[in-house]
Amino acid sequence: MERADGNKPQLLMAQNDYVIRVLEHWDEITAAQWNGLLAAQADRAAPPFMRFEYLYALERSGSATDQTGWRLRLLTVWRGQDLSAVCAVYLKEHSYGEYVFDWAWARAYQQHGLAYYPKALVACPFTPVSGARLLAADDGARQALLAGLLQWCKAEGLSSLHLLFLNGEDAAACQAAGLMLRQTVQFHWENRRPDRAGTDGQPYQDFDEFLSCLSQDKRKKIRQERRKVSEAGVRFRCLRGAHIEKNDWDFFYRCYERTYLEHGNAPYLSRDFFHRMAHDLPESWLLCIAERSGHPIASSLIALDATPGAPGAAYGRYWGALERVDCLHFEACYYQPLQWCIEHKVRRFEGGAQGEHKMARALMPTATVSAHWLSHPDFAEAVKHFLQREDHGMRDYLGALSQRSPFRPL
C-alpha cells in the first residue's frame, strides 16, 4: 500500500494475519472504509461525530490540525487488502477541547521535570459525546488495533494514551488490555414517562405532559422561565437539514463566535467547518433560531443521530445570543430542543459535559467512561490509586444526585 505522497506508510507490526500500519492523512483511506466499520459496531447509536465526513471536515476546515495542536495519525489494521480496524489518534501538545480533565497530571509531570506533552488522544475533537472509538470488524481486529496503538505510543516515547467517551465495547477492550478506566458524569434526558411498574414508560405526548411528571417546584420554575421569554416577545423557528439556509448558518456562527469571544477565547470551530456540515451531513443538524420583532437574536445548534426513521438521540452542542433576554439560554438550549424531541419521538437528549443545573430540567446524571495508559511506572501507579479514590467519590456523587430527582413521586 503506497501513501499519496509516494512514500510507504509506517509498518508498525504484523500480528497473526493482521498487518498494522500508521497513516498520516485522511486521504489515505476512504469514507466508505471508515463509515463501513463505524456502521458495523455493536453500538447502534449513530451520532454524526465519528463519521468520516465530520472528522475530515475538522481537519480540512483548519479546526483540528497540527497548527491547533491536533496532529493526526490513523492506526490501521489490515487483513490482506481489507481494512479490518482503524482509529484516529491525535498527538496533543495541550489538553484543550477534551472535556476529561488531566491538567493535574500534566502539572505533576512538570513538577518532576518530565514532559507530559505530546500525549496520544483517541477522541472526537471538541465533542464530549460517547460512542465507538476503536472501529473494528471483529473482536480480534479490535484487540490487534489496541495492541498496535499501545506499541506505537511506546515506540514514539509518548507519556500517555487517553481514549475518551467510550462505548461499552471499547471500554471493555481497554480494561482487558490493562488500561485504567475513569468515570465522569453527564446529564441526559429520556423521552419517557416515569412508570409505576418500574419498566420503561411511554414517550411524552407533548411538553405539558412532560411538565406534569415533574415536581411542583420544578414545573412552576420552568413555566416561569418560558413565560419570561415569551413575554419578552421572543419566538422560535426550528429548522432541520436543507431547510437551514446559508444566511441561517451565517447567523448561527455569529452567535457561536460571540459566546467564545465573550469568554476571552477564539472559537474552536471555523465557519468553513459548518459550511462543510451543511453540505456533507445536512440531516444531522437542527438549528433553533430565536427572533424578536422579526429579527434573529439568538440560536442553538443541536446534532441528531442517523438512526433509520426518527432520530434516536439529539445532542446539545452550541449556542449564542446577540441580545440579552432573561432565561433565553434555558429556552434555546433545553426547552426548545426537548419540545422538538417530544414532537418528533426522539428518545434521548444529551446535554453535554458537566452541569448539575440541568437536573432541574429533568436531565439526569449518566456515567461516561474513558481509558488511560501512562508510560512512567511510578506515575501510572499514582494515577491508578487516584482513580480508585475518584471512582469511590464518583459513586457517592451519583448516589447523592439520584436522591435529587426532579420528578414527582409516583
Instruction: Show pLDDT as tens, one digit a residue, over the chain (410 residues).
Output: 334 344 555 655 556 689 999 999 999 999 999 999 999 987 767 899 999 999 999 999 999 999 999 999 999 999 999 999 999 999 999 999 999 999 999 999 999 999 999 999 999 999 999 999 999 999 999 999 999 999 999 999 999 999 999 999 999 999 999 999 999 999 999 999 987 544 467 999 999 999 999 999 999 999 999 999 999 999 999 999 999 999 999 999 999 999 999 989 999 999 999 999 999 999 999 999 999 999 999 999 999 997 666 678 999 999 999 999 999 999 999 999 999 999 999 999 999 887 889 999 999 999 999 999 999 999 999 999 999 999 999 999 989 988 899 999 87
Pairing of strands 313-321, 285-292: unpaired
In the chain, the domains with their CATH numbers are 10-186+367-402 (3.40.630.30), 192-346 (3.40.630.30)
Report helix, strand or coil for 227: helix
Neighbours of 159 (CB within 10 A): 20
Neighbours of 253 (CB within 10 A): 21
Q: How far is CA 369 from CA 129, 131, 174, 211, 350, in A?
A: 11, 10, 11, 31, 15
Strands (DSSP E) contained in 16-111 are 18-23, 70-79, 82-92
Give dist(CA 394, CA 79) in Å, integer. 41
Which pLDDT value is given to residue 391? 94
Which pLDDT value is given to residue 197? 45
Cell 426522539 appears where?
A: 346
CA 141 to chain centroid, in Å, comes to: 24
Which pLDDT value is given to residue 308? 61
CB-based contact 131:43 (threshold 8 Å)? yes
Which pLDDT value is given to residue 16? 65
pTM of full prediction above 0.85: yes
